[in-house]
Amino acid sequence: MSDLVPTRRRLPATAWVATAVGAAALGALAIGAISIGRLAVGRMAIGRIRLKRLEIDELTVKRLNVLGEQPGP
């Protein structure tokens, strides 16, 4: 009768190690992908800030030129 009872087979230690290594590699890959994505987004934001500063500087120069062209009292 005991032959009919299914027994649970245990995985060998190498399978557990391989699973742990695979999980660690997958986690490292995910962390790397996230950090590269955040770096790219940060660089784009810095580029936008530089463009806005450049636009503001150009507007300031134009305004100063207009003020300088006005006749004084």
Domain range holding 44? 16-69
- What 3-state class would DSSP assign to 38? helix
| DSSP-based three-state secondary structure for 52 | helix
- CA-CA distance, 54 to 47, in Å (whole number)? 11
Domain count, the chain: 1
Cβ-based neighbour number of residue 5 at 10 Å: 6
The answer to whether residue 9 sits within a structural domain is: no
- Give domain status of residue 55, yes or no: yes
Judge whether 2 lies within some domain: no
- Percentage of the chain beyond pLDDT 70 is 84
The C-alpha atoms of residue 42 and residue 20 are separated, in whole angstroms, by 33
Residue reference for tokens 């190498």: 14
pTM over 0.85? The answer is no
Assess if residue 5 is contained within a domain. no
Q: For 28-39, how does the pLDDT look when each residue is reduced to its tens digit (9 = 90+)? A: 999 999 999 888
**pLDDT at position 65:** 74
The three-state secondary structure class of 14 is helix
